[in-house]
């Protein structure tokens, strides 16, 4: 049988655009779902996806990817990495699986909305494969995490986290609901595929994969590299969309969506990637600092993509550059201190040699964040663990839903704004600016603190808050990953000196 070359039939097969005779166009593609902004169907049909693939090719490649990942897992299970791994590494797995696995299902819904509502036929086609990608990611990560549930119940959060009211989950869900789930197809693709996937998934899935290989967790490295190979493909579906918008007078709209999504992604990744890279990965296995990864993937590469498209750097670029050296250190102090509220056990990452590394990568760390750790370490040395756990709740940002943190002695400031008769609190001028872009969109959401103060959480004490967050229900909360063994190093230094 003579077979045509793919290039000879592909364009015809994907051109699924026709004129509707029985139903008005607006009923098939309501503006609120498609976000087509008055751009004509002729223009939308020019959408040119950067990669071309057929269904037959797609399933063949994906099957090979899956068999690669699952066979590495099967082969390495016998080595029992889990029993030998540093506890900091196990914490990374718990945090990753809890934060990522079921969000992949949300991403499948995100892509499915392009399949149905995008007015660009090429994008509908490409998104169909993207949707299948995301289902694969969810299923693989749930399967890989499931093996660990019998070893440690904190892995139960891999499946359950997004159904809870845990503070970290509230922050993640607020972000993903805003970016993935509740905007029209055009806006979603700009925010999620272009702003989020071209930059930030690289940080987690490539940056962390190097650390995983170094730490001997080849199964996890192989899994997340395989996922990223899909992300790198469907991430591209935002770029031709941006070209169409810019050529049709929608540059300002596109720019605003990118500015919102980039900042919101940055904030959540300080927890998901920033803290693990600089504090949890065993020192001898660290590939680069979080700041170095950010500089490579976001500051250089993402800025270049913006420039190539004729877009501008976000207006807050200088604030972002400063934040690279600051924000996640503040969140590390917060998450480690409030460790009973986590579904993983955070590593402190501040033994003497780790502090030297932090000072080298972030000059001035010892004089700022280090001073806070001095106090915590001193208390632990003297056996006062209870003095290292706060008795009250932190002030939480009404945009990021993360604690408002900053560099001790320099930048630590609430950025309040009054709207509709109530006062909102923000961790930065950028978080406040995002809220101001569409206050009605955000004003009804209650942060964990809002819920606590308005009586939604009972009893209104620490025990009540923990139960509300699922702690002690799905699993126990976190402790210090290394059970404070790092404090002994300070004790022995002192013993030598005296
Ligand atoms: Mn994915
Ligand atoms: Mn994706």
If you average pLDDT over every residue of the chain, what do you get? 93
CA of 475 to the centre of ligand 1 (A): 26
CA atoms within 13 A on the CB side of 257: 28
Strand, coil or helix: 224: helix
CA of 422 to the centre of ligand 1 (A): 37
Which CATH number do you get for residue 487?
Answer: 1.10.620.20
CA of 414 to the centre of ligand 2 (A): 33
Q: What are phi and psi of 271, to 5 degrees?
A: -80, -50
105-119 confidence digits (pLDDT tens): 999 999 999 999 999
CA of 234 to the centre of ligand 2 (A): 6
- Provide the token pair at 435: 């809220």
Task: Report pLDDT for 24.
Answer: 93
For residue 180, which ligand has an atom nearest its CA?
2
260-280 confidence digits (pLDDT tens): 999 999 999 999 999 999 999
Does residue 204 register a pLDDT over 90? no
218-237 confidence digits (pLDDT tens): 999 999 999 999 999 999 99
Residues 6+ apart with CB under 8 A from 375: none
Mean pLDDT of 412-436: 96
Mean pLDDT of 208-215: 87
d(CA 100, CA 105): 9
CA of 162 to the centre of ligand 1 (A): 16
For residue 237, which ligand has an atom nearest its CA?
2
Task: Report pLDDT for 214.
Answer: 87
For residue 197, which ligand has an atom nearest its CA?
2
For residue 194, which ligand has an atom nearest its CA?
2
- Provide the token pair at 290: 């979080």
Residue 463 lies in a domain: yes
For residue 178, cis peptide bond before it (omega within 30 degrees of 0): no
For residue 134, which ligand has an atom nearest its CA?
1
- Provide the token pair at 201: 């998934």
CA of 214 to the centre of ligand 1 (A): 23
DSSP element (H, E) containing 360: helix 352-361
pLDDT tier for residue 1 given thresholds of 50, 70 and 90: low
CA of 142 to the centre of ligand 2 (A): 16
Task: Report pLDDT for 17.
Answer: 83
CA of 134 to the centre of ligand 2 (A): 6
Does residue 332 register a pLDDT over 80? yes
CA of 248 to the centre of ligand 1 (A): 30
Mean pLDDT of 298-325: 94
Residue 23 lies in a domain: no
| Percent of all residues in the chain with a pLDDT value above 90, rounded to a whole number | 81
Does residue 208 register a pLDDT over 90? no
Strand, coil or helix: 443: coil
CA of 60 to the centre of ligand 2 (A): 19
d(CA 268, CA 171): 7
Residues 6+ apart with CB under 8 A from 64: none
168 touches 471 (CB < 8 A): no
Print the domain residue range for 135. Answer: 33-497
| Percent of all residues in the chain with a pLDDT value above 70, rounded to a whole number | 100
Closest CA to 154 of 202, 222, 98: 98
d(CA 403, CA 168): 10
15-71 confidence digits (pLDDT tens): 788 889 999 999 999 999 999 988 999 999 999 988 888 999 999 999 999 999 999
Residue 5 lies in a domain: no
CA of 127 to the centre of ligand 2 (A): 10
CA of 241 to the centre of ligand 2 (A): 16
Strand, coil or helix: 136: helix
CA of 278 to the centre of ligand 1 (A): 24
CA of 197 to the centre of ligand 2 (A): 6
Residue 17 lies in a domain: no
- CB atoms under 10 Å from CB of 6, counted, come to 13
pLDDT tier for residue 215 given thresholds of 50, 70 and 90: confident
Closest CA to 450 of 400, 403, 396: 396
Does residue 409 register a pLDDT over 80? no
Residue 21 lies in a domain: no
CA of 349 to the centre of ligand 2 (A): 31
Residue 61 lies in a domain: yes
Q: How many domains does the chain have?
A: 1
């Amino acid at each position: 049988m003579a077979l045509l070359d793919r290039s000879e039939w592909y364009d015809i097969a994907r051109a699924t655009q026709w004129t509707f005779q029985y139903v008005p166009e607006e009923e098939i593609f309501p503006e609120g779902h498609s976000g087509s902004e008055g751009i004509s169907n002729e223009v939308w049909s020019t959408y040119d996806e950067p990669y071309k693939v057929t269904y037959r090719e797609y399933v063949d490649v994906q099957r090979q990817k899956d068999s690669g990942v699952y066979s590495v897992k099967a082969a390495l299970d016998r080595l029992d990495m889990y029993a030998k791994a540093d506890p900091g590494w196990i914490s990374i797995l718990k945090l990753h699986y809890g934060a990522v696995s079921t969000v992949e299902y949300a991403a499948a819904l995100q892509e499915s909305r392009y399949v149905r509502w995008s007015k660009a036929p090429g994008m509908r086609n490409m998104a169909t494969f993207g949707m299948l990608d995301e289902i694969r990611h969810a299923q693989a990560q749930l399967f890989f995490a499931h093996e660990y549930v019998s070893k440690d119940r904190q892995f139960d959060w891999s499946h359950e986290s997004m159904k809870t009211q845990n503070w970290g989950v509230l922050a993640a869900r607020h972000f993903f609901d805003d970016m993935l789930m509740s905007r029209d197809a055009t806006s979603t693709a700009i925010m999620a595929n272009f702003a989020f996937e071209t930059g930030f998934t690289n940080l987690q899935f490539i940056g962390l994969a190097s650390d995983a290989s170094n730490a001997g967790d080849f199964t996890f490295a192989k899994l997340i590299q395989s996922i990223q190979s899909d992300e790198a493909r469907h991430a591209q579906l935002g770029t031709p969309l941006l070209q169409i918008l810019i050529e049709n007078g929608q540059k300002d709209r596109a720019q605003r969506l990118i500015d919102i999504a980039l900042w919101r992604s940055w904030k959540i990744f300080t927890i998901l990637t920033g803290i693990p890279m600089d504090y949890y990965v065993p020192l001898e296995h660290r590939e680069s600092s979080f700041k170095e990864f950010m500089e490579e993937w976001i500051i250089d590469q993402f800025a270049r993509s913006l420039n190539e498209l004729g877009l501008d750097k976000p207006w807050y670029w200088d604030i972002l550059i400063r934040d690279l050296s600051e924000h996640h250190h503040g969140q590390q102090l917060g998450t480690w201190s409030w460790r009973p509220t986590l579904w993983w056990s955070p590593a402190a990452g501040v033994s003497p040699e780790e502090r030297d590394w932090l000072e080298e990568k972030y000059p001035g760390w010892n004089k700022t964040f280090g001073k806070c750790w001095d106090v915590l370490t001193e208390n632990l040395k003297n056996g006062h663990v209870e003095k290292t756990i706060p008795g009250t709740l932190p002030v939480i940002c009404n945009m990021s839903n993360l604690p408002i943190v900053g560099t001790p002695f320099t930048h630590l400031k609430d950025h309040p704004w009054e709207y509709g008769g109530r006062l909102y609190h923000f961790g930065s001028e950028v978080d406040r600016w995002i809220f101001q872009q569409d206050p009605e969109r955000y004003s009804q959401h209650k942060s964990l603190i809002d819920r606590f103060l308005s009586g939604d959480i009972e009893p209104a004490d620490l025990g009540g808050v923990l139960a509300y967050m699922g702690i002690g229900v799905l699993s126990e909360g976190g402790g210090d990953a290394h059970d404070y063994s790092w404090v002994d190093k300070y004790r022995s230094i002192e013993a030598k000196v005296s």
